[in-house]
Chain A
């Protein structure tokens, strides 16, 4: 168990409202990631962090921002939610396993934007 929690687990919001999703880890891992999962698209990387205050964009970063002020917390913010951002959001942390990095995923947040 990599000790990853996500909050909230479910959220319904309206178009145009700001939304912040939280990922919390207890294992002090350096790398943290935000993905979204949509039917027909698999898992797509939104943003990732390689340390406190160090973040970078992923494949589908438009409309999202992130912050990491503490090692254990990685926040994903939708500044003005749109219906296209209705999705399941997964946070992950990365742990080196010799020759590869294994990513451990949180339980997900189901976001619905009406």
Chain B
């Protein structure tokens, strides 16, 4: 059974609007959470993280929210830009291991 679910395979947003990407998990053992971004033909790159003791972390246009009681993680991108078009993976960590979701493809149109 999947421990990490990104239920939306794709998301389309207009430039300047908010993009919200979601991630749900089933196990409470994870103590940190990360988002990675991946462009075609490149390796994933780290975007933003949050510790299990926090509920929000912000870095420029990117904000990650954690709702531990609901076992839900979300990434908000405001304002969205065409260069944000990529595949976004949530990754849940315990120790040195990461478990990745299947990814959501974000398309931002100008």
Contacts and interface: CB of A to CB of B under 8 A. Distances in A.
Contact of B100 (A43, A97, A101, A104): A43
Nearest to A105: B43
A42 B101 contact: yes
Given A40-B102, A103-B98, A108 B89 contact: no
Contact of A43 (B31, B44, B51): B44
A30 to B, nearest CB: 9
Nearest to B103: A42
A94 interface: yes
Contacts of B98: 45, 101, 103
Interface string A32-52: 000100001111110010100
Q: Is the interface of A mostly helix, strand, loop or mixed?
A: strand
Interface in B1-57: 6, 31-32, 34, 36, 41-46, 49, 51
Nearest to A9: B41
A100 B43 contact: no
B70 interface: no
A100 B46 contact: no
Nearest to A50: B96
Contacts of B103: 42
A42 B98 CA distance: 12
B43 A106 contact: yes
Contacts of A41: 102
A29 to B, nearest CB: 11
A99 B101 contact: no
Contact of A100 (B6, B42, B93, B102): B93
> Which of A101, A104, A107 has most B Cβ within 10 Å?
A101
Given A100-B32, A100-B34, A105 B44 contact: yes
Interface of B: 6, 31-32, 34, 36, 41-46, 49, 51, 89, 91, 93, 95-103
